[in-house]
Amino acid sequence: MLFTIQVNNKKIKAEKGETILSALNRNGIIIPTLCRMKEFTPTGACRMCVVEVEGRDRLVTACSQPVEEWMKIKTHSPRVITARKTIVELLLSNHPDDCLYCDRNLNCELQRLAEKLNIRERRIRGRKIKPRLDQSSPAIIRELSKCILCGRCVRVCEEIITATSLDFINKGRETHVGAAMDRDFNFSSCIHCGQCVLVCPTGALHEKHNITEVQEYLNKPGIVKVIQYSSMVVYGIAEELGMRYTREFDKILNAILRKIGFDKVYKTGLGTDVCISEIAGQLSQRIENKSDNPLYISACPAWVKYAEQFVPSLIPHLSTVKSPQQITGVLIKTLVADQLGVKPEEIFSVSATPCMAMKFEARRDGMMRKGISDVDSVLTVRELARLIRLYGIDTSNIEHEPADEPMSGRSSAAILAEVSGGMAEGVIRTYHYQKMKKEPDKQIFKKLRSAGVFREISIMVGETEVKVAVVDGLTGLEKLKISMAAGKKYDLIEVMTCPGGCVHGAGLSFNTSREEIKNRSKLVYQADDTEAINLPCKSLSLINLYDKLLKDNADIADKKIFFTHFEKRNVLL
Amino acid sequence: MSTDLDIILRKYKQGKREDLIPLLQEIQDNLGYLSEEAIVKTGSFLGLSTTKIYGLATFYDRFRFLPSGKIQIMICHGTSCFLNGSQSIINKIKEETGVMPGHTTRDGNFSYEIVSCMGGCCNGPVINVNGQYHTHVKAEQLPELIKRLKYVIEND
């Protein structure tokens, strides 16, 4: 039901049941917000969005107050502006003033608010928060002095990720956000998904930077510098650098990376293809053995850590295939090292990903051979963009270059794995192709590509029925549990930690709206629909790898390098 | 100790989250403090994460996370005692014991905490040593008092 309300002496239409904020936003009136996150129930905690409602003594929070018919609202009256300004001034009063050195400089919500509200002097001086830097986690760094206690990370961790490794500790001036028993992050149940980093308005949470390390190695003589990047990185870099994404953009990226100083540029896509084929093989084995237990895809490192901590009973059912990044990494340290005639330790292997948990994964137990790690350094898309800017590469005027052999090609299934449900789809397609020698009907996967935290399909492969479930964001695990408790059996289950899959990865740009994330998945689906090679087993690079390279290399011919192991973790849950 | 904990947990219903605070209180009454083990066990018993429980427990001053000393001193920091100079008492005790409020000395003898009004406003500053009240306390008396308490512990 629509009705009219008066805002700033103008009449606008509002809908019954919506909040003042949504009515205002729909009508083009913008109000600053801080603690608010879309898709979450509003808390009205930061009071940044206050407006004046005639007849009310106090200012009301627009984000949480439902709009009513009689309302006469002032959104930018002097009283409101003073209130908002004071809030930001108070937040700044105990904030360390090191914006110039801060990770989020020029990209900080607090900074932007201070600018928007025209704060030009320090009116309120408070005691600074005691600095505490937690660098213990392989992926996420906490700088508690920069925290403004908006509570977004706490809510994401509890409501979206369900790991609940963050909460407010202590009270009053001593309040800070921390993990269980106020220990450092490496002891906590954090799964390094990085969604908290993505929602943090300031530099209090950010990724562990590997740029300096990469730079150092780029200048080292006698070392072969190698980089691999996944398909999502191509979109991400285009976004970060403000360039238009085209299908040829990966070739531009190859050229950029070579200009920075990488000797070899590879695509993680081949690793994804290997991963898909190997999982399809495992699935086929399970179905032949008529195993009751489903096979869980273990390509998402955050999900793997989640399973190891919270549901250790699942560990035997996790697919032992390494993740695409690690497979590509190990191929670089074996095949490529042989091809180039260098020792594996003379290769510095960097991986660019949209994921933060990959930083953790590269340090995992079992991701090493003879003391040489598969991947030496992991850069998020944001870091890679920073590196590109640092090297002052002119991106507008650059020649197209192909990636290096033997990891230059990928199937479209590899790019599809970047969205939730894509990996499962690729595995099923491959399995179907292996059994029936033809591809399944695309319409079947329509449901896997739809929205919702839990999706399932069943597909006939010859005489056998294969049931697939996709958990899109860890909140879907609850539904999976209910469904399995009701007696449903699945053959293949894919779990992605970030809602939407890697397109919502924590290594991508900050401040992306839901539409932009949808747009990313749309691009992924488009690529899959239009590209010619849509199965890993049709990709020339993979055929070359399996039929030739692996066979020529007695050391790795048994494919053991593609597999790893998982163990129960003892952390404070 | 873990058996004590199990006995307490058995009195409550599994997964009933609203029992969290009474449960924590009972654990503290019995064990003297909330150990890490107690928090973890309570968490798995009620289906709450350790982080949440720790976050909640640190909100309340009365929950302790370290065992208290043989001598537990409470110092009133209410308005009246504050005006009568309880801050100097706190500083002196900090100096004498060498630990922060809520913590226990290495030898396990002393622990102290700062509390709000103990109801002796006309007699401030008030401190409470193992349940026994001392009124009109002056900072200079404290070294003597602590020496005496140490003597009592050593000869007990």
Q: Is residue A551 one of the residues assigned to a domain? A: no
Closest CA to A573 of B34, B46, B124, B25: B46
Question: Do A286 and A181 share a domain, yes or no?
Answer: no
**Domains in chain B, CATH or no CATH each:** 2-59 (1.10.10), 71-154 (3.40.30.10)
**What is the reported pLDDT for A548?**
84
Q: How distant is the Cα of B121 from the closest Cα of chain A, in angstroms?
A: 25
Quickly tell me which residue has 């801050």 as its tokens: B87
H or E element: which one contains A328?
Answer: helix A324-331
ipTM of the complex: 0.88
Give the residue numbers spanning the domain of A152: 91-207
Question: Do A101 and A198 share a domain, yes or no?
Answer: yes
pLDDT averaged over every residue in chain B = 89
Question: Do A31 and A64 share a domain, yes or no?
Answer: yes
Residue A448 to residue A469: CA distance in whole angstroms: 8
Sheet holding A2-7, edge to edge: A10-15, A2-7, A72-74, A50-53, A60-61
Q: How distant is the Cα of A157 from the closest Cα of chain B, in angstroms?
A: 11
Residue A234 to residue A346: CA distance in whole angstroms: 27
Q: Which of A207, A230, A262 is the last residue of a domain?
A: A207
H or E element: which one contains A368?
Answer: strand A368-369
Q: Residue B96 pLDDT > 90, yes or no?
A: no
Q: Which of A207, A224, A242 is the last residue of a domain?
A: A207
What phi and psi, each to the nearest 5 degrees, are found at residue A542?
-70, -40
Question: Do A96 and A50 share a domain, yes or no?
Answer: no
**What is the reported pLDDT for A462?**
85
Confidence of residue A560 (pLDDT cuts 50, 70, 90): confident
From A164, A170, A171, residue closest to B51, measured CB to CB = A164
**What is the reported pLDDT for B64?**
86
Q: How many CB atoms lie within 10 A of CB A341?
A: 7
Question: Do A101 and A61 share a domain, yes or no?
Answer: no
Concatenating the DSSP letter of every residue in A377-411 gives: EEEEHHHHHHHHHHTT---SS----PPPTTS----
What tens digit of pLDDT does each residue of A94-106 get? 999 889 999 999 9
What phi and psi, each to the nearest 5 degrees, are found at residue A210?
-115, 10
Strand, coil or helix: B110: strand
From B43, B59, B65, residue closest to A573, measured CB to CB = B43
H or E element: which one contains B148?
Answer: helix B142-154
Q: Residue B15 pLDDT > 90, yes or no?
A: no
Q: Is residue A238 one of the residues assigned to a domain? A: no
Chain B residues within an 8 Å CB radius of A182: 54, 58
Task: Identify the bridge partners of residue A10 per DSSP, sorted by sequence position.
Answer: A7
Nearest residue of chain B to residue A187 (CA atoms):
B51
Q: How distant is the Cα of B91 from the closest Cα of chain A, in angstroms?
A: 19
What's the mean pLDDT in A189-202? 93
Residue type, A402: P
Q: How distant is the Cα of A175 from the closest Cα of chain B, in angstroms?
A: 9
Chain B residues within an 8 Å CB radius of A178: 51, 55
Task: Identify the bridge partners of residue B128 per DSSP, sorted by sequence position.
Answer: B74, B133
H or E element: which one contains A168?
Answer: strand A167-169
What's the mean pLDDT in A169-196? 91
Q: Is residue A436 one of the residues assigned to a domain? A: yes
Q: How distant is the Cα of B56 from the closest Cα of chain A, in angstroms?
A: 7
Q: How distant is the Cα of B148 from the closest Cα of chain A, in angstroms?
A: 34
Q: Torsion over CA of A52, A56, A62 and A65, rounded to 10 degrees?
A: -170
Closest CA to A193 of A353, A388, A425: A353
From A164, A170, A188, residue closest to B52, measured CB to CB = A164
What's the mean pLDDT in A77-88? 95
SS3 content of chain A, % helix, strand, coil (to 5): 40, 15, 45
What's the mean pLDDT in A173-186? 90
Q: Residue B131 pLDDT > 90, yes or no?
A: no
CATH number at residue A129: 3.30.70.20
Q: Residue A309 pLDDT > 70, yes or no?
A: yes
pTM of the model: 0.91
Q: Extract the tokens encoding A445.
A: 């996967």
What DSSP character marks residue A336?
A: I
Residue A226 to residue A189: CA distance in whole angstroms: 33
Query: Contact B54/A169, CB-based, under 8 Å?
Result: yes
Closest CA to A153 of A99, A205, A106, A94: A205
Tell me if A164 sits within 8 A of B51, measured CB to CB.
yes
Q: Torsion over CA of A315, A316, A319 and A320, rounded to 10 degrees?
A: 90
pLDDT averaged over every residue in chain A = 91
What DSSP character marks residue B12?
A: S
Chain B residues within an 8 Å CB radius of A179: 51
Query: Contact A189/B52, CB-based, under 8 Å?
Result: no
Confidence of residue B2 (pLDDT cuts 50, 70, 90): low
Question: Do A292 and A416 share a domain, yes or no?
Answer: yes
What tens digit of pLDDT does each residue of A419-462 get? 999 999 999 999 999 998 888 888 888 888 988 899 999 999 88
> Which 30-59 residues of chain B touch chain A by CB within 8 A?
36, 39-40, 43-44, 49-52, 54-55, 58-59
**What is the reported pLDDT for B66?**
86
Question: Do A130 and A170 share a domain, yes or no?
Answer: yes
Confidence of residue A494 (pLDDT cuts 50, 70, 90): very high
Chain A residues within an 8 Å CB radius of B54: 167, 169, 180-182
Residues 6+ apart with CB under 8 A from A138: A186, A192, A208, A359, A360, A362, A363
**What is the reported pLDDT for A511?**
82
Lowest mean pLDDT across A120-124, A351-355, A545-549, B39-43: A545-549
**What is the reported pLDDT for B1?**
54
From A163, A171, A181, residue closest to B54, measured CB to CB = A181
In this structure, are strands A377-380 and A372-373 parallel, antiparallel, or unpaired? Answer: unpaired
Query: Contact A165/B49, CB-based, under 8 Å?
Result: yes
Query: Contact A167/B43, CB-based, under 8 Å?
Result: no
Tell me if A267 sits within 8 A of A407, measured CB to CB.
yes
What phi and psi, each to the nearest 5 degrees, are found at residue A6?
-105, 125
Q: Is residue A392 one of the residues assigned to a domain? A: no
Q: Residue A554 pLDDT > 60, yes or no?
A: yes
Question: Do A100 and A189 share a domain, yes or no?
Answer: yes
Q: Is residue A513 one of the residues assigned to a domain? A: yes
Q: Residue A265 pLDDT > 90, yes or no?
A: yes
CATH number at residue A43: 3.10.20.740
Question: Do A474 and A525 share a domain, yes or no?
Answer: yes
Number of domains in chain A: 3
3-state secondary structure A426-438: HHHHHHHHHHHCC
In this structure, are strands A167-169 and A176-178 parallel, antiparallel, or unpaired? Answer: antiparallel
Percent of chain B scoring above 90 in pLDDT? 40
Residue A518 to residue A372: CA distance in whole angstroms: 39
Identify from B44, B51, B60, B64 which residue to disrupt to test chain A contact, counting A C-beta atoms within 10 A and taking the largest count.
Answer: B51
Nearest residue of chain B to residue A155 (CA atoms):
B52
**What is the reported pLDDT for B3?**
73
In Å, what is the CA distance from A562 to each residue of A332, A374, A515? 12, 11, 36
Confidence of residue A482 (pLDDT cuts 50, 70, 90): very high
Q: Is residue A300 one of the residues assigned to a domain? A: yes
What DSSP character marks residue A124?
A: -
Question: Do A99 and A40 share a domain, yes or no?
Answer: no
Residue A484 to residue A178: CA distance in whole angstroms: 34
Is omega for the bond preceding B101 within 30 degrees of 0, making it cis? no
Residue A164 to residue A160: CA distance in whole angstroms: 9
Residue A424 to residue A443: CA distance in whole angstroms: 15
Question: Do A72 and A128 share a domain, yes or no?
Answer: no
Q: Is residue A198 one of the residues assigned to a domain? A: yes
3-state secondary structure A259-270: HHCCCEEEECHH
**Residue ranges in B33-115 assigned as alpha helix (H):** 36-46, 50-59, 79-83, 86-97
Chain A residues within an 8 Å CB radius of B59: 168, 170-171
Nearest residue of chain B to residue A185 (CA atoms):
B51
Confidence of residue A375 (pLDDT cuts 50, 70, 90): very high
What's the mean pLDDT in A545-553? 84
Interface check for B88 against chain A (CB to CB < 8 A): the answer is no
Q: Which of A33, A49, A76 is the last residue of a domain?
A: A76
Chain A residues within an 8 Å CB radius of B39: 180-181
Q: Is residue A467 one of the residues assigned to a domain? A: yes
Query: Contact B44/A573, CB-based, under 8 Å?
Result: yes
What tens digit of pLDDT does each residue of A5-64 get? 999 999 999 999 999 999 999 999 999 999 999 889 998 889 999 999 998 999 999 999
Q: At what angle do helices B50-59 and B36-46 cross, to 10 degrees?
A: 120
Q: How distant is the Cα of B152 from the closest Cα of chain A, in angstroms?
A: 34
Query: Contact B51/A180, CB-based, under 8 Å?
Result: yes
Q: How many CB atoms lie within 10 A of CB A522?
A: 13
Sheet holding A133-134, edge to edge: A133-134, A140-143, A205-207
What's the mean pLDDT in B104-133? 88
What's the mean pLDDT in A538-552? 86
H or E element: which one contains B129?
Answer: strand B127-129
Alpha carbon of residue A144 to chain centroid:
23
Q: Torsion over CA of B41, B42, B48 and B51, rounded to 10 degrees?
A: -80
Question: Do A58 and A195 share a domain, yes or no?
Answer: no
Sheet holding A295-297, edge to edge: A295-297, A492-496, A464-472, A454-461
Query: Contact B50/A572, CB-based, under 8 Å?
Result: yes
